Amino acid sequence: MPLRILAGASGYSFKEWKGAFYPQVIRPEAMLAYYAERLHTVEINSSFYALPKAEIVARWAASVPEDFRFSIKAPQAITHRARLKDTAADELAQLYRVLEVLGDKRGPVLFQLPPTMKKDLPRLRGFLQLLPADHRAVFEFRHDSWFDDEVYACLRDCAAVLCLSEREDASAPPLVQTADWGYVRLRLEAYGESDLAEWLQRFRATHWNTVHVYFQHNVTAPGYAADLLRLAAKKRSKAET
């Protein structure tokens, strides 16, 4: 089965995108539908600051096609204040209750840890036990101490995903497969065709069936996502001939 690539941007509701990606005149409430006509996934980052109400999430779901997928960044109350302790159990349960509104349009849930949080394997194990069965959890570790075989094995045991995040301020962590799908955040300001082709090659070297790829929320993000998808389709077509 060919690798499915879902590529999009980290966010969509940026007035700075008007005239470049969006029409110069567009209502804020029309942005998501316009975006979803061109790309099939988005990473919602506003949820990091405040969990959206269920009625707002329902409006998101009603604005996009059936094959669209929302990735949701977990609230900072879970990742930065509780720092994955079991005191976050109520907030975690509430997060997944709200996301049920998305139905099949719910994609991964990203747990981005603070850069000062060092490896704590017992805490990670305990947190994973709090997750629902169909959690689709992704962990973005930003302290180097997390990148070792013990952590990878812990994630594999619960079918959780290690996020690969390419950032300007740090070297990219290893691309380690801990589930049958992957999650990649490409945060550099510029990506040329050769850069995207290199990432495609890395994706295809895995055993993933799906990879979610999100570009940083610059005005260039939708274009890079579209370029990645076009390049993947071109390479797939060439391989089939």
Q: How far apart are CA 62 and CA 80, in angstroms?
A: 31
pLDDT of residue 145: 96
Q: How far apart are CA 39 and CA 221, in angstroms?
A: 11
User: Could you give the C-alpha distances from 88 to 55, 85, 114, in angstroms and in order?
Assistant: 23, 6, 15
**Residues 177-188: what's their mean pLDDT?**
97
Q: Where are the domains of the chain?
A: 4-240
pLDDT of residue 172: 66
Q: How far apart are CA 194 and CA 25, in angstroms?
A: 34
pLDDT one-digit tens code per residue, 59-71: 999 999 999 999 9
For the chain, counts of helices (H) and of strands (E): 8, 9
Q: How many CB atoms lie within 10 A of CB 5?
A: 25
**pTM for the full predicted model:** 0.96
Angle at the Cα of 47 from the Cα atoms of 3 and 44, rounded to 5 degrees:
30
Q: Provide the CATH number for the domain formed by 4-240 in this structure.
A: 3.20.20.410
Q: 3-state class of 89 per DSSP?
A: helix
The type of residue at 25 is V
The type of residue at 167 is R
Chain-centroid distance of CA 127 in Å reads 19
pLDDT one-digit tens code per residue, 135-171: 999 999 999 999 999 999 999 999 999 999 998 776 6
